[in-house]
Amino acid sequence: MTAAAAPHTAGASQRASCDPAASFTIERAEGGVRLSGTFRTTDAARAWDELHAAFAGAGPGELALDLSGVERIDGGVIALIVAARDELAALGVNARIVSTPEHVRPLFELYGGLEEASVRAPRPALGPIEAIGDVAVRWAAATRVAVIFLAEVASAFVSLLRRPRSAHLKEVPWLVQRAGFDALPIVSLISFLVGFVMGYQSARQLERFGANVYVADLVGISITRELAPLMTAIIVAGRSGAAFAAEISTMKVSDEVDALRVMGLRPIAWLVVPRLLALVLVLPILVLVSDVIGIAGGLVVAVMSLDVSASAYLLETRRGLVPWDVGQGLVKSVPFGLAIALIACQQGFAASGGAESVGRRTTTTVVTCLFALVLLDAAFTFTFRMLGL
């Protein structure tokens, strides 16, 4: 294979590591080479020699590098394994790294040592009962992770009450600007269009009964009670929720979260608490803005298409709306903000691997937020109805 490999004997290729004091073994197995044990950087030179000994005599074709027995491996040894694989490729030997343990897979991905086609075997087809069990196990694992995350967030808030400096509260104003002020243009535009469409959709029916002025009641109540808080929360979930998940996911896969721990900082308090506070503060303000702009959209329709004056529209809006109509939207906005921040941050901390995981977690954040928002909205609507509110 190479000059370094030539002096090794065939016996060494059958059992490359015979030293009883060695912490690893590299041996020829059927169809390839098997590595097992602990590979430290200090063992890199011996591992390099033994790899070449194990590869001696390998002809063109397929050769599997079985890593299922690796308990621990340092980056320097991984670099040597990848280099040895590339040397074999130059000789026409397709060396495939297979059976990589989950705890060392991220390091191999970092060094470019894994190929998806060679390390991921297709999953066998599952029967109906097995599929249900598989989904149940996945849901149980996800629920456990979410509960642990919520407990850590609660603990971080308790620590914040005792030591306010334990959280990165200086970041809150900047996050409020990103999630609130920067979202005002899109929130205002969507709210205006929703009020505008609501007015036009009801215009013909109201004209039939000569109740043109009641467009103010219809638009005002639907906007303040339901549409403004829900649409605003959906926009924030798509903007800020996705951004939070992508930021934390990127920090997680690039080991920045671990760096915070090394510096003695709690990642939950440093990253999650400021984002949670920012969304809880900004959602009610955005909902109030959405209320005003949505009612203004209905006003445009009333003046242009229903021959209702602006003063008559505003007077009817004032008569038809009560403070609790606006209050319902504000009450909903706080849990909406909590849900968006918690889901986004939890998905960010659940990321692992590389860019693919960041994209997957960001997508999951948006989908989960939308489901959670609709579910919370339905729960609030039912509760208010049962309480006569």
Sequence-distant (6+) residues with CB within 8 A of 153 are 268, 272, 273, 276, 342
Q: What is the pLDDT of residue 355?
A: 79
Q: What is the pLDDT of residue 166?
A: 66
For the chain, 389 residues long, the average pLDDT of each consecutive 10-residue run is 37 40 70 78 78 67 73 77 74 70 71 49 67 83 83 82 75 88 91 90 78 84 90 92 90 82 80 89 93 91 84 88 88 92 89 80 91 92 86
Answer yes or no: are the C-beta atoms of 341 and 243 closer than 8 Å: no
Q: What tokens were used for 186?
A: 């899109």
Quickly list DSSP for 24-83: EEEEEETTEEEEEEEE-GGGHHHHHHHHHHHHTT--SEEEEEEEEEEEEE-HHHHHHHHH
Gap between the Cα atoms of 304 and 59, Å rounded: 83
Number of H helices, E strands in the chain: 17, 4
Q: What is the pLDDT of residue 234?
A: 93
> What does the chain come to in residues?
389
Q: What is the pLDDT of residue 118?
A: 40
CB atoms within 10 A of CB 12: 19
Range list for CATH 3.30.750.24 in the chain: 10-119
Gap between the Cα atoms of 65 and 83, Å rounded: 13
Query: C-alpha angle with apex 374: 373 to 380, nearest 5 degrees?
Result: 90
| Residue whose structure tokens are 């901390």 | 349
Q: What is the pLDDT of residue 6?
A: 37
Q: What tokens were used for 52?
A: 């070449």
Q: What is the pLDDT of residue 281?
A: 92
Give all strands of the β-sheet with 93-98 in edge-to-edge order.
24-29, 32-39, 61-73, 93-98
CATH of domain 10-119: 3.30.750.24
Q: What is the pLDDT of residue 379?
A: 92
